[in-house]
Amino acid sequence: MVDITDLPLIIGCLIPCIVIAFIDYTKYIIPNKLTYPMIIMGLLYAVYTGNISGALLGGGVCFAAFLIIGLLQGAGAGDIKMVTALGIWFGMEAALTIIFVASILGVVWGIAKMIRTKGKGEFLAWTKNLIGGLALTLGGAKGALNLPKLPEDDDAPAPETAIPFGAFLSVAAILLWVGAKGSWLN
């Protein structure tokens, strides 16, 4: 059951997540017009509730982790800002759960998309190359794992293998909130 204490989270985080999910899924972009207000409102709410240290820890850990992933070209700037906002709103532990669930959803969606568009044989070949590239990369080989990145131009088409991770972050955040409202956790 939703009560009045849920309104700041719903208005400041979950409604923007729904909008972000649609935009990221269709255009592969997470607008600053949505992430910056999520961050600011989350920080203001944390100050109001006296949970500024939890919000800063959650946002900081999520930002640092995704900044590293972004520097490795595994996440875009919108993803970094969005996980930072989710870390501020939900705290570190819940935000890491959101990231984990979103990652699973993204992998399942990516595999289904690849099999649907390329066929099972090409998926198996890609998997073999990915595992080999990961092994070489972990062994210290430079450039062994070549992952496509989103183009700098917002109007350019996204690579076929791109995954709208912001959409999956949004779904995971909403699922976590709905699950936390369920009586089985109370």
Residue-wise pLDDT for 63-74, tens only, equals 999 999 888 777
96 has pLDDT over 70: yes
DSSP one-letter code for 145: S
Per-residue pLDDT band at 159 (split at 50, 70, 90):
low
Tokens of 84: 């930072």
Phi, psi of 5 (to 5 degrees): -70, -15
Could you read off the pLDDT of 37-71 as tens digits, one per residue? 999 999 999 999 999 999 999 999 999 999 998 88
Cα angle 141, 145, 146 (rounded to 5 degrees) comes to 130
90, amino acid identity: F
Distance between alpha carbon 185 and the CA centroid of its chain, in Å?
24
Query: Do 105 and 168 touch, CB atoms closer than 8 A?
Result: yes
Phi, psi of 148 (to 5 degrees): -70, 150
